Amino acid sequence: MLNLIFFGPPGVGKGTQAARVAKHYDLVHISTGDILRAEIKQATDMGMIVKDIITAGELVPDDLLIELLESTCDKHKGTKGFVFDGFPRTIRQAEALDEMMERKQCKVSKVISLEVPPDELLRRLVNRAIEQGRTDDTAEVIKNRLVVYQKHTKPLIDFYKLKNIFVEVLGVGTIEGIFASLCNVIDNRY
């Protein structure tokens, strides 16, 4: 199996590239943010629980996310692999993912970190707020999401560097150019 994690702060372009990579390599793209937004839209029990958390730019509790991820993966038995986008976001989630992989006798192949300078990141988030009207893309919430990223998610860099599966790819340039760099990394041509 080819299991990839797309890593990086909000606005770095994970969603766009994760979808392209999944299509290209015939993998299942799992965006926890998209799943949660769909739950809110459908006003499910889960949607009701997570709505205010997401709107505030905070993290949804680990237990909920881990359960959500496992049940989503279980719907795709027999897949060639997964592209995880927006998961894991905490060490606890990363450990749970490792345990799940072990149970399925596979592992995370690579953690791909998209690198974008902070001023470009802010510009993209503000643009997305205008284009998509996401409730968590207001200036104040954007700031909080970046703080939450620094505190809870950034420590994952060392977690995955220790496992020697962490790779950085420049997330600046055209969508095609970035995609080509990603393919080089995934195909070990770097």
Which residues of the chain form contacts with ligand AMP (CB under 6 A)? 10, 32-33, 36, 53-54, 57-60, 65, 86-89, 93, 136, 145
Active site residue 92: no
Active site residue 189: no
| Residue of 14, 20, 37, 110 marked catalytic | 14
Active site residue 37: no
Whichever of 42 and 188 has its CB closer to ligand AMP, that residue is 42
* CA–CA distances in Å: residue 117 to residues 127, 140, 160, 190: 16, 20, 21, 22
Whichever of 65 and 114 has its CB closer to ligand AMP, that residue is 65
| Residue of 20, 37, 89, 110 marked catalytic | 89
CB of 187 to ligand AMP, least distance (A): 26
The kind and range of the H/E element at 113 are strand 110-115
Whichever of 147 and 180 has its CB closer to ligand AMP, that residue is 147
Q: Which residue is nearest to ligand AMP (CB)?
A: 33
CB of 99 to ligand AMP, least distance (A): 16
Whichever of 147 and 172 has its CB closer to ligand AMP, that residue is 147
Active site residue 145: yes
Rounded to a whole number, what is the distance in angstroms from the first to the last CA of the chain? 20
Active site residue 103: no
DSSP 8-state secondary structure symbol assigned to residue 6: E
CB of 63 to ligand AMP, least distance (A): 11
Asked whether 112 and 185 are in contact (CB, 8 A), the reply is: yes
CA–CA distance, 1 with 61 (Å, rounded to integer): 28
Helical spans, DSSP H, in the chain: 14-25, 32-41, 45-56, 62-74, 91-103, 118-132, 139-148, 156-161, 175-186
| Residue of 51, 92, 124, 128 marked catalytic | 128
| Residue of 51, 92, 124, 134 marked catalytic | 134
Asked whether 3 and 106 are in contact (CB, 8 A), the reply is: yes
* CA–CA distances in Å: residue 150 to residues 9, 20, 38, 133, 160: 8, 26, 26, 24, 16
The residues annotated as belonging to the active site are: 14, 89, 128, 134, 145
